[in-house]
Structure 1
Amino acid sequence: MAEFWRFLERSAEETTDPARRLDWLAYRLSRVSLEHIVDFQVHLNAARRPIDTYAIWGAADQIMDGLCSGDAFWYFQPWLIGHGQRWWHHVAQNPDNLADLPAVRALAGRSPREWADADWPHWEDLAYVARRAYDYSTGREGGLDEALDARGHRMYFDPEPTDQPWDSDSLAEIERRLPRLARLFPRHHRRIV
């Protein structure tokens, strides 16, 4: 897992552009053994688990002004992972810590309607970079799924939060659970409970 984080963080040192980072990751992954490509996917999936919670989903929803659907949260997770182990761990400890992340702070004070596509907190394609490298390395599609199955690794493709749901539409709950995000991203149109 430590190598996974070093590799991912190294890609951010090479470039901050998400598409170029993906190209860098895919190229480098395609040059290692198939076993290591599978390891990357396994570690990426493992990194999702601690942040696949209703608590973090509610925080992402607060940032996105109520626009964080299941798909949006699924794409938010690799975006957060892409910021590196330090930020991932910081947010996993407390979802309100998203308020410390510079990329989140840069969104404050603007409506999501004003965000450029590159500003949105999502990075769906990171979830497919190992598949891309595996297909390139083997010259055929679908091999990564077979390799994961052979390891007994279960892939999941939608959020499966591991904690109790909460009312992320309630201003009182938001202010209690996410006080810093509530100040950065006020949601006045929500009902107060």
Structure 2
Amino acid sequence: METVFVYKDEVSHRFWRITRSGLSYIVMYGKEGSVGMVKTKTFETEEDCDNEVKRLIQLKLKKGYQPASSVGLMIKETTLTEELFWELLEKARTTGDDPEDGLEWLVNYLSTKSIKDIVNFDYHFHEYYMKSYTSDLWAAAYIIMGGCSDDCFDYFRAWLLFQGKKVYESAIENPESLIPYLKKLGEQGEVPQLEEILFAACEAYEKKTGNDDEDYLAIYEKLTKDPFIQLELDLDWDEENEESLKAMFPGLWELYGESPLE
């Protein structure tokens, strides 16, 4: 159930939208034409949730809010487009002397944006992150680091996204395209893993609101309908069969088969 109201007078044009689903509701509100703010609340029973939604609706009516006639023109869904997502990763990657500096900049930047923008950044990240969950890329990571657990592969894919759209797309098509970047890491004594970026949006939310990660995950799921479900993956390679790995990626094997980054 969704209800949308607007309020207009000589100095103020505002919207208010409430959406109820199951045991919870989410409210979005702000100036007309803006992204607005977000609040959510969960109840023990659907009846309690219904009663609170009805109470809030009646309260808005008493304050002079009226049913909206054009929701699309009134509420700007987000300013954080897919193009801006990649631009932010590029800015973060090139900021400071190491990834920590870039991630600090990214968290601070996102914390100044609306909650919907923070969520939308995370949604774009998650979409591309899931697309990188491939058997070939896992085999490549296994060769590069001399082994690769589930968590290790998660952090490897996070590092890959941080390298930018061009590097990411090339690696999905051919993991050996990463060799120049891996050589640079090796010279620096680093490994291709970046766990911290997985939590950048959540940290930005906490910095902005003071609320914890559970609140963020609840809002993320309500806004995106994305429950962060881990995909299942059937590997088409055997870690015990070195010859098959060597045949898959001979360039990577030549560099890291006997001397992995670790």
One fold, TM greater than 0.5? yes
Structure 2 counterpart of 1:35: 116
Contact 2:156 2:193 in 1 (8 A): yes
- Which residue does 2:83 correspond to in 1? 2
Partner of 1:191: none
Q: What is the TM-score of this pair, normalised by structure 2?
A: 0.62
Q: Is the strand fraction higher in 1 or 2?
A: 2
Change (3 A) 1:35 1:29: same
Shift in Å, 1:13: 2.3
Q: Report how far residue 143 of structure 1 moved.
A: 2.5
* Higher RCO (Cα < 8 Å, 6 or more apart): 1
Partners in 1 of 2:96 and 2:166 — Cα distance? 18
Unaligned runs of 5+ in 2: 1-81
Tell me which residue corresponds to 2:239.
168
Change in 2 beyond 3 A, CA 1:161/1:93: farther
> What fraction of aligned residue pairs are identical, expressed as a percent?
28
1: CA distance, partners of 2:103 / 2:227: 23
How far residue 163 of structure 1 moved from its aligned partner, in angstroms, is: 5.6
Residue of structure 1 aligned with 2:135, choices 27, 32, 54: 54
Letter in 1 for 2:173: Q
CA contact (8 A) 1:54 1:161 kept: no
Distance, in Å, in 1 between the alignment partners of 2:216 and 2:88 is: 19
Amino acid at match of 1:144: Y
Alignment counterpart, residue 219 of structure 2, candidates 144, 147, 152: 147
Aligned equivalent of 1:23: 104
CA RMSD of aligned residues (A): 2.0
1:12 aligns with 2:96: no
Map 1:1-193 onto structure 2 (within 5 A): 1-66=82-147, 68-99=148-179, 101-102=180-181, 104-106=182-184, 116=189, 119-141=190-212, 142-150=214-222, 151-156=224-229, 160=231, 162=233, 164-187=235-258
Report the Cα distance in structure 1 between the residues aligned to 2:144 and 2:178, rounded to whole angstroms. 9
> Given that residues 94 and 102 in structure 2 are in contact (C-alpha distance below 8 angstroms), is that contact kept between their aligned partners in structure 1?
no
Cα–Cα, structure 1 residues 153 and 128, in superposed 2: closer, same or farther, change >3 Å? same
CA distance in structure 2 between the partners assigned to 1:16 and 1:59 by the alignment: 27
Structure 1 unaligned residues grouped into runs of 5+? 189-193
Number of residue-to-residue matches in the alignment: 176
Q: Which has the higher helix share?
A: 1
State the structure with more CA Rg: 2
Aligned AA (2:227):
R
Structure 2 SS opposite 1:106: helix
Code of the residue aligned with 2:215 in structure 1: it is G
How far apart, CA to CA, are the structure 2 residues paired with 1:175 and 1:80?
A: 22
The one-character-per-residue Cα deviations of 1:104-141 (angstroms, maximum 9, x if unpaired) are 12356x9xxxx84xx02110010001000011111211
* SS of equivalent to 1:14: coil
- Give the TM-score normalised by structure 1: 0.83
Determine helix, strand or coil for the equivalent of 2:258.
coil
State the one-letter code of the partner of 2:236.
P
Does the Cα contact within 8 Å between 1:30 and 1:137 map onto a contact in 2? yes
